[in-house]
Chains A and B, each alone.
Chain A
């Protein structure tokens, strides 16, 4: 789990690790299912070492072994503020696939159209998974919104594959 995400989830109020985890799972829905339970504690202890959070032992509840409450430090607060304002955005990594087509055609390793078809099949299966998951979520929930983003991204990729197909159909260097 990305450090800034965990920090920002703490900005609301000092929290136990399990509370953070519940907040994350609520926001992520099915996309967060594979999230490892221990991950958040690993991240929290790194943040503590970096001086971005402090941790206090509390008496807690008898059925909760987790008795640490985490709180942002001033440095942690600043990191969250910077992160909120940051506009960097993960790229979809199109160049690799683009170059795969060119390399395959150039060295006659494979027919680019066959590669495009195989990729389309894979993306359609992913789109199917994302859509099925989205339809199972309550409308307008946080989890459904994230799944809509996944589906939208896949649709954009599928549109680009169509453009790839048009371009490579009938090309002389294919």
Chain B
């Protein structure tokens, strides 16, 4: 929608995803264009069923579009073979899911290092990187804990560390706080802020306004299409005192 100057890390044109046929045809994503600039945090919001998760799956190569084109870091990716797509998902994209999707039989550090090992990194390199990332998400002292021994917020932070292990071009997060209480949500929020400050490109699908409010830009989606776009950075509007009900 903006930033067509070639600095887009992620770019899509005319993206469409249809399910079913004829009378039963559902257009989950109905012709959208997306540009995510390097270092940008983009939030996509909308009611459940608006197509936002489907969009994220298309952008991340978890699902193939019915029509349209997708580029990651300038490379066309929507026509890749299954095998090349799998490699792309492993090395170029970090995924964060609502339900964490950690391996229950692996401890925290083993979960984080797994994608690096699958990419052919040495065990030593992977362990060192995973430990550094657990430290970064504030869980250095939980490295040997199994997911079942961690709180929801801690599990999601492990999942975020795992998403970062391959130093991805972009992190795609699908309702990352959907299963968390408000304190754990705040921890994840802080973590996204620090990733943003470190220059990580992030796309977050969420119906949580707190997460959306941390983004640089927010897109509202309805019935598979974008209906509104807001730039949230710059030009602070509110006086916090007035918001707190203080007069003058």
Write the residues of chain A forming the contact surface with B, with a CB cutoff of 8 angstroms: 1-2, 28, 30-36, 39, 90, 117, 120-122, 124-131, 133, 135, 146-147, 149-151, 153-155, 158-159, 162, 166, 169
Contact = CB atoms under 8 A, between A and B. Distances in A.
Contacts of B186: 135
A135 B193 contact: yes
Interface in B229-248: 230, 232, 235-248
Where chain A touches its partner, the secondary structure class is helix
Contacts of A124: 209, 212-213, 218, 230, 232
Query: Interface residues of B toward A: which range?
Result: 20 to 34
Nearest to A5: B246
B238 A125 contact: yes
Contact of B237 (A33, A126, A155, A166): A126
A130 B248 contact: no
Nearest to A117: B228
A33 B244 CA distance: 12
A31 B240 contact: yes
B210 interface: yes
Contacts of B245: 90
Contacts of B189: 131, 135
Contacts, number: 90
A31 B232 contact: no
Interface string B186-205: 10011001000000000000
Contact of A130 (B190, B220, B240): B240
Contacts of A35: 241, 246
Nearest to B190: A135
A158 B208 CA distance: 10
A121 B210 CA distance: 13
Given A126-B238, A147-B240, 17 more contacts: A31-B241, A31-B244, A31-B246, A32-B241, A32-B246, A34-B241, A120-B230, A121-B232, A122-B237, A124-B218, A125-B238, A126-B243, A131-B210, A149-B244, A150-B244, A151-B210, A162-B47
Given A32-B246, A39-B248, A151-B210, A128 B228 contact: no
Nearest to B194: A135
30 contacts: A31-B240, A35-B246, A36-B248, A39-B248, A117-B220, A117-B227, A117-B228, A120-B220, A124-B218, A124-B232, A125-B236, A126-B237, A127-B210, A128-B213, A128-B214, A129-B236, A129-B237, A130-B243, A131-B189, A131-B214, A135-B190, A135-B193, A147-B240, A149-B244, A154-B209, A154-B243, A155-B209, A159-B209, A166-B47, A169-B222
A131 B248 contact: no
B228 to A, nearest CB: 5
Nearest to B243: A150
A4 to B, nearest CB: 13
B209 A127 contact: yes
Contacts of A36: 248
Contacts of A133: 240
